[in-house]
Structure 1
Amino acid sequence: MNRFGKTLLVLALVAVVAMAFRVSWNALRDVATAVGADTTGATLYPFVVDGLMALALVATLVLTDRADKKFALRVLAAYTVASLVLNFVHGLVPELHGRSVDWTRLADWDPVNWLLVLLATSLPVGSIYFGSDLVAKVLHHRSIDPADAEESTPIDMERSTPDLPAPALTPVPALTGQAEADRVEQVDSPAETAPVDPPVARAVAADQSAPRRVTGRVPDAARSTRPRRTADELMAEARQVTESWSVEQLTAEGIRKALRTSPDKARMLRDTLRAERTATAAPEPLGAAS
């Protein structure tokens, strides 16, 4: 709809509301006169009831908080029902039209009459309270500018990677231990090992760059149940395991995996076993020459 159409629609709505208010104003004025209001009070009484309805409607459209919007809707519904009841009473009591009804007499049955008089006289007090509350909520309301909302989204998207919170790095024990062993073995004997894979190298670099956290004493339940072997026991087990191995197969990595020991001890065992194999094989040429 173009601007001209919207303008016509708003003008038509204003005209309809003005005519409806004029009809309701006549009924509410006669009811106010019946409950004891003077000429000026009876003339202003419709503005108290129907005017607060208009204020509650505007507050409902302006407020964005769910609790405040619900409060404005309740005020709007309550005063709409009250205006409807008083207009209905005005239609049922013809004496109100000619102002010949007895003072404060809106119904023949006393309990209903008391309720109607209470309703008619309490609406101005309610307008003061609820109207003030609605105006305060509207004045203290802070609306979100759509331009600011659209501007805040690209700011978060344009943040660089260092500005974003970095997730905590989780150490990978298996990859780290494997990479450390391969790196040590490559230093001792470059020809015996393959180069470290790039993913493992990145895991080692990430683990080394991350700050290590100070830990306390390892609980007994988490400790290994395998008894610690002495140097002699480890050497005897290494001789037994590598008895059928050739000299080329005597690598620190192979011994470490077979005996499940540290790289340092594996290198020591490798050097010892190679020395024993060399000492054993050295006298054979002398015996063959003799």
Structure 2
Amino acid sequence: MKQAYLWIAGVVGSAAVAGGGIALMQSQPEAIAPEDSAVVTPTTPSTPTQEVPSEPETAAPRPDPKLSDFPHKRLELTDEVPAGSEFDQFRDRLQQAIQARDEAFIRSLLPPDGLFYGFGGPMNIEDMDLNIDDGWFWQVLEKMMALESCEPSDYPPVEAGNPVWVCPNTTQAFYRQYPDPETAPGDEYEFSTIMVMGNNVNVRAAANTNSAVVGILSNELVEFDQATASRLYQDSPDSMPDELESWTPIILPNDVRGYVYSRYAYAPLDPRGLFENVNGQWQLIRVLAGD
């Protein structure tokens, strides 16, 4: 059961489309590399050797402009949570709990009948690996709440009339700003796109911080390198995605192929949390994924 949840959780990290051969496997890091660069704003390919940065994998404050000399498809995110509101205060507390790996607090947010994740039924809380600091659900939560960009959702509330918040709202922004073109109907459009959220995010020639920087991206859409991802998946079909400490293969608008640190790589079908105040208690009522 847990393996099924992991595949849904890793739509960016591990996705497959029946008959289409689309897949992405994010292999695990082998070593920790020195700090690569500056602070980010929240917001060989077949067998890569991963050296995961201990700090955000972003470029110097004034990166070489030649590294971003190509057309850009910017994605603008807005946070619709009123400052100081009840949900704003709850979100701050949730972010603190995620950083502190506060298992008791996260358990208190889960519905008593189980959390629905993606297309699956109620999830057994023990399958979330909350007792492990780098457990897969902690990785999902950390990435899900990193952007601090939420908006009201039209998802049916548990209690009629209650507002439901979705975090992050990357998927909603993607569909509003870049509607599905007629030339790419269905899931193919979603699976072909990666949203790189952060300022001056490095694009590496290989999946490690020792390789050359071949591009710089800031809050924009790029093409998901499906061919490389499929090859990686075929080489290691049993590998599970690590949502944070891994690399995502992409293709830049100038046809240069590279990798971005997966902490900043979001796919339109990635996990998004739905939050509602139920009987005076905030709950994570559902995780949308793979839709």
TM-score scaled to structure 2, two decimals?
0.18
**Structure in which a larger fraction of residues adopt helix:** 1
Please identify the structure whose Cα radius of gyration is greater.
1
Report the structure, 1 or 2, having the larger strand content: 2
> Structure 1 length normalisation: TM-score?
0.18
